[in-house]
Structure 1
Amino acid sequence: MIRGFGERWLVAAYGNAAWLKLLRPLEALYRRAMKRRAAAYRQGKRAVWHADVPVIVVGNLTLGGTGKSPLVAWLARHLSERGWRPGIVSRGYGGRAGQGAGYPLHVTAHTRIAESGDEPRMLARQTGLPVVVDPERPRGARALLEMGCDLVISDDGLQHLALGRDIELVVVDGRRGFGNGRCLPAGPLREPLSRLSEVDAVLINGKPTFEPPVGAWSFRLAPVRWRSLEADRRCPVMPLPFSGPVHAVAGIGNPDRFFATLKELGMEVRPHALPDHHRFTAADLTFDDGRPVVMTAKDAEKCRDLAPPGSWVLEVEAEPMPAFVEWLDQRLSGLR
């Protein structure tokens, strides 16, 4: 069961609940503020820092999970295979490095979650590439350049306009789309849909249930392996390394997508949806029936020392369309 007003509001925004019409006056104020902010950067009233290397921004127009992090991981690995030395800069939502190591924070697989947040540490573990957390994206990007990176990927950086960019990629969830098409707080949009005409590419996670923007590409999140959280042992996706019903725990932006993936693998799922970036406790993972507990790679970063024996992580990887990969390589060839 999804808990918290924020999660209930998000469900309403994607379901076009009638009561959200009451918030449209606030939406108008929000849209006006966003327009003025963008104009300030465009007109030079607010500073924009441009790196001497290519910068790729991967972001969302909507609140809630879209599958952006697996795409960032794929992008980093792909570019590394093409001879680039990419690094990732992230806001590090949920982390508070200012009280510990300070910013910019170089994230590794051993960095404390309390400092880095869950997604940056997951990306560092999955890619083995430089990852820096800094709420001031230009400062974080400069740290990556000092580490020898020749390309910067800004994770969830679409609205962080202080960092100049060469390519903007917007990720959309194929099932939820843009919800009711309204901006905050009357809908799930961070920016108006007109923003799509300004970005370089739109990538849709899964088969869309809505009319996609012209020229949009699709990608899928493919389950690639199971990982035992207890022993760090890896197993193929099929056959399943356990049997019977499972407790599926998800503290991500779109837990239903995770539950649906498990069901597509033929599993009997007992879902437990928690707020995005949830601070897990052992009680969240404790059940009285001895059934296995399964979770996402993002949640596993926080649950390593909390999960009971028999807990498993489903690892997924993004698989973009070949046409998008060709387009991306061509765009970057002109930026070397």
Structure 2
Amino acid sequence: MKAPGFWTTGGWPAAALAPASWLWRLGAQIRRATTTTYRPAVPLICVGNATAGGAGKTPTVLAVAAELIVRGSRVGLLSRGHGGTLSGPVRVDPAVHGSAEVGDEPLLLAAAAPTVIARDRAAGARLLEEIGIDVIVMDDGLQNPSLIPTLSLLVVDGGAGIGNGQLMPAGPLREPWDAALQKSAAVVLIGDDRTGIATRVGDRRPLLRAVLEPSPASLTLRGQRVLGFAGIGRPDKFRETLTEIGAELVGFQAFADHHAYRPLEVMELVERAVGLNAIPVTTAKDAVRLPPEARPMVTVVDVSLSWRDPAAIAALLDGMTP
């Protein structure tokens, strides 16, 4: 789904949808009241966001997992498996599963640590406990009441912020901003703060600043003509990345988040790039959704999260208790 413009600007469409937002809030309250909660026997870190769409949760999960692995922890990753057909709980095996079955993000996560997908998050946590992990890091789930986290991180895209600040469908918020902030131990602000998130947070929670950095291999695209395409929460973020690494962007096509690429569709993109004397490029998240035969034809620009103050996230994890 592409976010409507009024999610950023507000105006009469947002005002007209305000009553539906009240129903959204009521539905969330009913869900919390009727859901049986589970507290895992091992520490659970929830990496979530307050808005619909991408904010950088998966790179944050990978960065947190890397910090824990360096400490010697046996880390397990938990995802809903959005976009996949399997409901789980099932351990993701990239040699067996494709994005159509388990979703795109779990395939990226599984390359870093044992990963389980489960629509029933509690069942997924139990499977990870059976596998024998020391700590669970959950990708998304801040609004899911079925698990009791040890620590929650609220991820915010500095470029998008929280839009018009209203609940869905009048705005992009999945829950009120103050409620998301209240349940979180810290806010992870990714990229430049273009929407005043630091002011919104104030001194109520620690603000952990981070950036998404392209891999060293991606820097070979500097000065190269490229045709970019992406089906992620905010495709413009990928456009900005290509510009930042110094690529000459001769074309760009945005798709909906989790878009399932058809073979003919990718071939048309490749042929268009050839006609422009350009290199077709996409994100790592998109690459796992490409037809296998098309992947060698497309260059992948991978990014990873880098902490501005590594000591701050280290201190937060130090203070985590089961």
With normalisation by structure 1, the TM-score equals: 0.86
2:183 matches 1:198: yes
Secondary structure of 2:292's match?
Answer: coil
Counterpart among 203, 221, 226 of residue 240 in structure 1: 221
Alignment RMSD (CA, Å): 1.8
Counterpart among 39, 46, 49 of residue 57 in structure 1: 46
Structure 2: distance between partners of 1:76 and 1:17: 41
What is residue 7 of structure 1 aligned with on the other side?
2
Counterpart among 215, 230, 235 of residue 224 in structure 1: 215
What is residue 124 of structure 1 aligned with on the other side?
110
Deviations 1:157-183 (A, max 9, x none): 111111111101110000110000000
Structure 2: distance between partners of 1:220 and 1:281: 32
Contact 1:56–1:153, Cα closer than 8 Å, also in 2: yes
Secondary structure of 1:239's match?
Answer: helix
What is residue 22 of structure 1 aligned with on the other side?
16
Residue type matched to 1:73 in 2?
Answer: L
Structure 1: distance between partners of 2:24 and 2:296: 47
Residue type matched to 1:222 in 2?
Answer: E
Residue type matched to 1:190 in 2?
Answer: R
Contact 2:239–2:252, Cα closer than 8 Å, also in 1: yes
TM-superposed CA distance for 1:31, in Å, is 1.7
What is residue 233 of structure 1 aligned with on the other side?
none
What is residue 230 of structure 1 aligned with on the other side?
none
TM-superposed CA distance for 1:327, in Å, is 2.4
Structure 2: distance between partners of 1:205 and 1:179: 15
Residue type matched to 2:191 in 1?
Answer: G
Secondary structure of 2:94's match?
Answer: coil
Structure 1, unpaired ranges of 5+: 1-5, 226-235
Deviations 1:260-279 (A, max 9, x none): 01011111221110000001
TM-superposed CA distance for 1:152, in Å, is 0.8
**Is the alpha carbon distance of 1:122 and 1:326 closer, same or farther for their aligned partners in structure 2, counting shifts above 3 Å?**
closer
TM-superposed CA distance for 1:29, in Å, is 1.8
Structure 2: distance between partners of 1:246 and 1:151: 41
Contact 1:281–1:306, Cα closer than 8 Å, also in 2: no
More moved, 161-170 vs 304-313? 304-313
**Is the alpha carbon distance of 1:326 and 1:8 closer, same or farther for their aligned partners in structure 2, counting shifts above 3 Å?**
closer
Contact 2:228–2:239, Cα closer than 8 Å, also in 1: yes
What is residue 257 of structure 2 aligned with on the other side?
276
TM-superposed CA distance for 1:210, in Å, is 2.2
Structure 2: distance between partners of 1:112 and 1:154: 20
Identity percentage of aligned residues = 36
Structure 1: distance between partners of 2:49 and 2:19: 23
What is residue 155 of structure 1 aligned with on the other side?
139
Counterpart among 249, 252, 256 of residue 229 in structure 2: 249
Structure 1: distance between partners of 2:183 and 2:306: 24
Counterpart among 20, 25, 28 of residue 31 in structure 1: 25
Counterpart among 101, 109, 120 of residue 115 in structure 1: 101
**Is the alpha carbon distance of 1:281 and 1:35 closer, same or farther for their aligned partners in structure 2, counting shifts above 3 Å?**
same
Structure 2: distance between partners of 1:84 and 1:123: 16
TM-superposed CA distance for 1:256, in Å, is 0.4
**Is the alpha carbon distance of 1:323 and 1:17 closer, same or farther for their aligned partners in structure 2, counting shifts above 3 Å?**
farther
Structure 2, unpaired ranges of 5+: none
Structure 2: distance between partners of 1:167 and 1:179: 25
What is residue 229 of structure 1 aligned with on the other side?
none
TM-superposed CA distance for 1:309, in Å, is 5.1
Secondary structure of 1:302's match?
Answer: coil
More moved, 49-58 vs 306-315? 306-315
Counterpart among 121, 133, 158 of residue 137 in structure 1: 121
TM-superposed CA distance for 1:34, in Å, is 2.0
Residue type matched to 2:285 in 1?
Answer: K
Structure 2: distance between partners of 1:28 and 1:70: 32
Residue type matched to 1:223 in 2?
Answer: P
